[in-house]
Amino acid sequence: MAILHSHLQKNVHTYDSLFLHQGHKGRKAFQEQMGLVVQKLTEVFSVSDKPFNGQSPQQVKYEVEFMMRFSNGGYSLEEALDDIEGPILKNSLHISHRKSIAHLHCPPLISGIAAELIIGALNQSMDSWDQSTAATYVEKELVRQLAEKAELPDTADGTFTSGGTQSNYMGLLLARDYFCHRNWNHLVQEKGLPPGFEKLRILCSEEAHFTVQKSAAQLGLGKQAVVTINTDDRHRMRIEDVEDTLTELKAKELLPFAIVATCGTTDYGSIDPLYELKVLARQHALWMHVDAAFGGGLLFSHNHRENVNGLSLADSITLDFHKLFYQPISCGLFLVSDRKNLRYLSYHADYLNPVEDEEEGISNLVNKSVQTTKRFDALKVLLTFKTVGTSLLGKMIDDTIEVAREAAKQLDERAEFLVENPVPELNTVVFRFQPQTTEKDTDELNRLIQQELLYQGKAAISKTSINGRTGLKFTLLNPRTNLQDIKEVINDVEEIGREIAMGGYRFDKCERDS
């Protein structure tokens, strides 16, 4: 017994330097180790001068796996940081580089990174008030302020989410359950899908995010429930097409229950006509969900705010802070105009949100979320609003739109480029390189340009599909990306493109694919 006790005693002291706690050892270890992390990261940033170091997937995989063979623990953080420096830190995409302009994937603000440290250290869980005693009110208040910013009615409410995927899923879940409850007095939450559910239909743009289909599938309606609407030359849903589709669906005795408008499509940043769609949604008693994962950033814009005025008409809204609000992943928001409808999500677990709590006015946010344990992501937004401020945030976004417009103009002036959105509504530019003469198929050519730029570490741009053909895309989220950067990237695209087109390009493909 005495031996066991002394063992335990010794262990307890070992554990002291593994956790951040009130004691001296914990505080000291925390301070030292955070210092090491900051030092290592600043070192890596000081030498990584490309968006990506150009290693092949095989090489990265090999280095990562080799490093992980020794991960049985027991050595210092300093050594572990040295271990991961090459395989992870240097082999990562450097998203903060000015020529990292591929996806809706932002450089994180330092305020957001700092908040991540606090989030990890406090490790609050947003499901019940007794696990997030102050954090609960931060989230609630930010939800209120953002709903107000979107000019939703006083009945609005919402929740932080893991991102646009989860927010879109929630919007369609509420829309489905609201429809079944109101029209058939049927609670899906209790009884599952009602008879006739195969007739339910969701309308969205052909350019809407794929998570509309994915949500429909997960909600038991199947992808068949999603009817896509053609877009106009500015890539927005055609209202006449929505009208015709609604008439057609009714004639077939199908049941449209929701319309998803996109406020900032992933490719073109186009904004569907929210006012016109709301008129139709009212006429046909449809739930209007607005996917503003991308375009929601315009809420703080100084020059383009009016483009998102229609958000106030939504029944539910998706917003992402890990895109135009420059937060580290993940950080999303779901808003609903009438908080009553959140009841389709709520579930009483005696240990988390007993009815007595509600009677005493205690908020347990688990009621509003599809998650249980949930991160305190709201802190990132709070620290950013406090330090950077919403005015500068809005200006940053405005500046990136200017840069995107200038990039589109520069591309347009060159004979071999075809620009799909000459006046970008947000900060993406979609284009194709199509020289007069080429030995390669132009789809293949555009695909190779994107790959070559990445492997050479010149720029990370993305490829996308334009009416079934392969095109290229700049996503200019980074407000530090300047016109000189853009010019250089365009020159590189052109130069590499011409060489590949003439068949004179030497690919180090064997090395890459081996």
Give the footprint of ligand PLP on this chain (CB under 6 A).
104, 163-165, 168, 209, 211, 262, 264, 266, 291, 293-294, 320, 332
Q: CB nearer to ligand PLP: give 177 or 320.
A: 320
Q: What is the dihedral of CA 421, 424, 430, 434, to 10 degrees?
A: 50
Look at residues 150, 471, 93, 441 and name the one whose alpha carbon lies nearest to residue 317.
Answer: 150
Q: CB nearer to ligand PLP: give 165 or 400.
A: 165
Q: CB nearer to ligand PLP: give 204 or 493.
A: 204
Q: CB nearer to ligand PLP: give 170 or 459.
A: 170
Q: CB nearer to ligand PLP: give 426 or 449.
A: 426
**Cα Rg of the chain (Å, integer):** 26
Look at residues 151, 96, 142 and name the one whose alpha carbon lies nearest to residue 385.
Answer: 142
Q: How far apart are CA 282 and CA 266, in angstroms?
A: 27
Q: CB nearer to ligand PLP: give 263 or 342.
A: 263
Q: Nearest distance from residue 475's CB to ligand PLP, in Å? A: 10
Q: Nearest distance from residue 266's CB to ligand PLP, in Å? A: 4
Residues 6 or more apart whose CB falls under 8 angstroms from that of 180 comprise 186, 187, 188, 193, 194, 197
What string of H, E and C letters represents the secondary structure of 133-162? CCHHHHHHHHHHHHHHHCCCCCCCEEEEEC
Where would I find the H helices in 19-128?
Answer: 24-47, 57-68, 77-84, 110-122
Q: Nearest distance from residue 228's CB to ligand PLP, in Å? A: 14
Q: CB nearer to ligand PLP: give 266 or 446.
A: 266
Which secondary structure element, helix H or strand E, spans residue 211, and what is its range? helix 211-218
Cα–Cα–Cα angle for 443, 448, 449, nearest 5°? 100
Q: Nearest distance from residue 210's CB to ligand PLP, in Å? A: 8
DSSP structure class, residue 456: T
CA distances from residue 349 to 216, 352, 356 in whole angstroms, order as listed: 27, 5, 12
Q: How far apart are CA 355 and CA 359, in angstroms?
A: 6
Q: CB nearer to ligand PLP: give 401 or 445.
A: 401
Q: CB nearer to ligand PLP: give 294 or 326.
A: 294
Q: Nearest distance from residue 60's CB to ligand PLP, in Å? A: 23
Look at residues 131, 168, 124 and name the one whose alpha carbon lies nearest to residue 382.
Answer: 124
Q: Nearest distance from residue 476's CB to ligand PLP, in Å? A: 14
Instruction: State the pairing for strand pair 287-292/200-205.
Output: unpaired
Q: What is the dihedral of CA 104, 107, 111, 115, to 10 degrees?
A: 70
Where would I find the H helices in 413-482?
Answer: 442-455
Q: Nearest distance from residue 103's CB to ligand PLP, in Å? A: 9
User: Is the separation of the CB atoms in 157 and 367 below 8 Å?
Assistant: no
Burial class (CB in 10 A: 0-12, 13-18, 19+), 251: exposed
Q: CB nearer to ligand PLP: give 167 or 364.
A: 167
Q: CB nearer to ligand PLP: give 266 or 478.
A: 266
**Ramachandran category for residue 39: left, alpha or beta (phi over 0 → left; psi -120 to 50 → alpha):** alpha
Q: Nearest distance from residue 262's CB to ligand PLP, in Å? A: 6
Q: Nearest distance from residue 379's CB to ligand PLP, in Å? A: 18
Q: Nearest distance from residue 204's CB to ligand PLP, in Å? A: 11
- Please count the other Cβ atoms lying within 10 Å of the Cβ belonging to residue 391: 10
Q: Which residue type does 273 have?
A: P
User: Is the separation of the CB atoms in 341 and 152 below 8 Å?
Assistant: no
Q: Nearest distance from residue 116's CB to ligand PLP, in Å? A: 17
Q: CB nearer to ligand PLP: give 324 or 408.
A: 324
Q: Nearest distance from residue 421's CB to ligand PLP, in Å? A: 15
